[in-house]
């Protein structure tokens, strides 16, 4: 068995998550990936905003920072620039990352600031009682979308790619083994990496949309996911409504902290003028 005790703050349990919630599955995958990547605990700063998913930092033994709703990436920006040696992981809900925190999300990706962002995408605002989020699929219900959402949803991974992220992968809580690998790859990538994970919220999303239990949600992920390689050969219509999983994007681009370091060196040598 994986030695989770090595990383958990056991005295902080029981956790606040509902039975069947995807948050725990993602937290465990993250710990396995950290173990594999051999990054020491003291070098990791785990930063979050507000939401069910954002409660993860309280349970794990790293430098943990639970901030304000939507601002985790901005707090993390300060930590990283002040102490570039820190390995930054941000955990965030779909609302936290792309609704209220959307601006920081796209700009950190644009800067290609070295951090790994794990978005727990449960299609809903869990913490506040199941309201619709920008990730709620069109037609699906939330407590503020009783007739079904009429808004098109954001493709979170697509948004990160478009904004300039250098590593982007999508997985689901059903595909936990792959998830470990993606998180590990994200951690080892120098630059802005995003791991989007579809996560069940049985309490609100599954209930309001009459999907059933968490197990039904996981089954739904299993039946509707297509590996990215296979998706490449499929038509747009065939892919409609499917979850494309895998490493979606992996490129090289200058990283912001390194670029800043170079600027400082240039200025100090007197080579930069204005």
Partner 1 sequence: MQRINKKDIKLMTGNEACAEAAIVAGMRFFAGYPITPSSEIAEILSCRLPREGGVFIQMEDELGSMATIIGASLAGMKSMTATSGPGFSLMQENIGYASMTEIPCVIVDVQRGGPSTGLPTLPSQADVMQSRWGTHGDHPIIVVAPSTVRETFDWTIKAFNLAERFRVPVIVLLDEIIGHINEKIIFPKKEEIVIIERERTKENPKTYLPYQCVDTDIPLFADFGAGYRYNVTGLCHDETGFPTNDPEKIDALYRRLNRKIERYTDEIIEFKTVSLDDAEICIVAYGSSARSAYRAIRRAREMGIKAGIFQIFTIWPFPYEELTKISQHVKNFIVPEMNLGQIAHEVSCATGCDVIKVNRVDGGLITPDEIFERIKYVSV
Which residues bind to partner 1, rule: CB under 8 A?
A: 12, 41-43, 45, 47, 57-58, 61-68, 70-71, 74-83, 85-86, 103-104, 107, 260, 263-264, 267-268, 272, 274
From residue 71, give the alpha-carbon distance in Å to each of 41, 101, 198, 209, 273: 23, 6, 21, 29, 34
Token code pair at residue 255? 């990283």
The entry of partner 1, ligand SF4, ligand TPP, none near residue 96 (CB within 5 to 8 angstroms by kind) is ligand TPP
Smallest distance, ligand SF4 to C-beta of residue 197, A: 12
The entry of ligand SF4, ligand TPP, partner 1, none near residue 204 (CB within 5 to 8 angstroms by kind) is ligand SF4
Token code pair at residue 114? 């070295």
Radius of gyration for the chain, computed over Cα atoms and rounded to the nearest angstrom: 19
Smallest distance, ligand SF4 to C-beta of residue 187, A: 24
Which residue from 7, 17, 192, 256 is in contact with ligand SF4, where contact means CB under 6 A? 17
Phi, psi of 120 (to 5 degrees): -85, 100
Bridge partner list, 249: 168
Compute the distance between CA of residue 224 and CA of residue 230 in angstroms, rounded to an integer: 13
Which residue from 93, 102, 142, 186 is in contact with ligand TPP, where contact means CB under 6 A? 93
Bridge partner list, 8: 60
Compute the distance between CA of residue 247 and CA of residue 47 in angstroms, rounded to an integer: 23
Q: Does 186 bind ligand TPP (CB under 6 A)?
A: no
Q: State the binding string over 183-222 for ligand SF4 (x if CB under 6 A, else -).
A: ------------------xxxx------------------
């Amino acid at each position: 068995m994986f030695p989770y005790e090595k990383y958990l703050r056991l005295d902080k349990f029981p956790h606040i998550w509902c039975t069947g919630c995807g948050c725990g599955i993602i937290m465990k995958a993250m710990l396995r990936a950290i173990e594999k990547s051999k990054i020491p605990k003291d070098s990791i700063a785990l930063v979050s905003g507000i939401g069910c998913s954002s409660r993860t930092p309280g349970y794990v033994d790293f430098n943990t920072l639970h901030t304000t709703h939507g601002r985790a990436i901005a707090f993390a920006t300060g930590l990283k620039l002040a102490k570039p040696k820190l390995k930054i992981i941000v955990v965030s809900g779909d609302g936290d990352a792309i609704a209220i925190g959307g601006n920081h999300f796209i700009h950190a990706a644009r800067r290609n600031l070295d951090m790994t962002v794990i978005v727990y995408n449960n299609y809903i605002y869990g913490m506040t009682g199941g309201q619709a989020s920008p990730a709620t699929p069109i037609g699906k219900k939330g407590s503020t979308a009783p007739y079904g959402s009429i808004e098109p949803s954001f493709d979170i991974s697509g948004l990160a790619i478009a904004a300039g992220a250098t590593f982007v992968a999508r997985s689901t809580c059903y595909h936990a083994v792959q998830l470990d690998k993606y998180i590990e790859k994200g951690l080892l990538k120098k630059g802005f990496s995003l791991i989007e994970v579809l996560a069940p919220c049985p309490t609100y999303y599954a209930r309001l949309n009459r999907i059933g239990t968490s197990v039904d949600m996981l089954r739904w992920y299993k039946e509707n996911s297509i590996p990215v390689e296979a998706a490449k050969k499929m038509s747009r219509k065939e892919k409609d409504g499917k979850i494309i999983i895998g490493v979606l994007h992996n490129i090289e681009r200058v990283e912001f902290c390194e670029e800043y370091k170079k600027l400082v060196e240039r200025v100090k040598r007197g080579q930069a003028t204005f």
